Amino acid sequence: MRTLTVKPKPKQQVATERRVAPERQVVPRRRPPTKRRRAARRNLTAYGFLCAALFCFALFAWWPIVREVVLSFQQTNLVDEPSWVGLDNFRTVVNDPAFGEAWRNTFVFTLLALLCGYVVPFAVAVVLNELRHARAYLRFVVYLPVMLPPIVSVLLFRWFYDPGPGLFNQALDAVGLPTLAWLDSTSTALFSLVIVSTWMNLGAGVLIYLAALQNIPGELYEAAELDGAGILKRIRHVTIPQTRLILTLMLMLQIVATMQVFIEPYMLTGGGPENATVTVAYLMYQYAFVYGGNYGAGSALGLMLMLVLLAVAAVQLRLTREEK
């Protein structure tokens, strides 16, 4: 029987293999990212989105405010070099006979719009919430005016208010009532604009109120019914307390929106008759684009309106904090 013998390697060959072996084991291995590195990468992405949002907000919201404040102290036509005039623009605006009328019309419009545009959508939302049939269809019908562009809605109401073939006068004539000069009378022109504004914004308000109403637990209504509460008592003791936060927020938003009314007087009455529908926003437009491009006076009036709206927002925030 033959036996295999292994010859020992020469010492020089073994030494060469030992020197070469470490070179074969040099394989760089990537270490997994540490927790700190992953957090930094995630925060970097978040900061990128935040910077983009801040840039857009600063460009389209904050910069116009800063520009308006600067223009209110300047005399400029936006072409030549502007000159600082101090408070002259504010004196020009305050001494204008239309200044007081514009503020009075704006406050009256806001009050009437709150009575109609704040109470009516809430009442419609409560009624829709109580219905058991055709709820989705009625929501669509109520929200439909919001889908129309504001200019289309205003032109539609111009036909409604037409003293000749207008829909409203035709309806009054059909029931034997005297017709009205809706937009041509100082006693009805401003209220006519309130009707247009209420109809245009009714759908959005109803949907917001409906969303708040559907978050109220049904057990509260069941307990109220077991106690013998009717619908009015349920609204008073359950609905209104449970939607108080939304009601407060909508009140503030509606005041801010209605005090900036512009499209309705611009398209329907042009500020007339006899300045009965001149509002602050419409007077700003007249200073900037009708009265020879007095951008400084228009900016001064806009700054006054902004300060009033800031005061309203501050009062609303104060009341909200006290309720909490």
pLDDT at 286: 92
Closest by alpha carbon to 71, among 285, 287, 296, 286?
A: 296
pLDDT at 180: 86
CA distance 111 to 314: 19
In a domain, 93, yes or no: no
pLDDT digits (tens, 9 = 90+) for 14-36: 555 555 555 555 656 666 667 77
Averages of pLDDT over runs of 10 residues in the chain (324 residues) are: 53 55 58 74 85 91 91 86 90 92 94 86 85 77 83 89 87 87 89 90 87 86 84 84 86 88 91 89 91 87 93 83 66
In a domain, 50, yes or no: no
Range of the domain at 231: 104-274
Residue 2 CA from chain centroid, whole number: 100
In a domain, 49, yes or no: no
> Taking the CB of residue 166, how many other CB atoms lie within 10 A of it?
19
In a domain, 297, yes or no: no
pLDDT at 1: 45
CA distance 171 to 153: 19
> DSSP character for 96?
S
Residue 83: its H or E element = strand 83-84
pLDDT at 29: 65
Six token digits for residue 153? 């809605």
pLDDT digits (tens, 9 = 90+) for 96-149: 999 999 999 999 999 998 888 888 888 888 888 877 777 778 878 888 888 888
pLDDT at 86: 87
CA distance 288 to 75: 12
In a domain, 67, yes or no: no
Tally of structural domains, the chain: 1
In a domain, 179, yes or no: yes
In a domain, 178, yes or no: yes
In a domain, 311, yes or no: no
CATH number for the domain including 122? Answer: 1.10.3720.10
pLDDT at 15: 54
- Which residue type sits at 305? L
* Three-state secondary-structure class, residue 80: coil
* 45, 116, 202, 233 from 122: Cα distances, Å: 42, 10, 9, 16
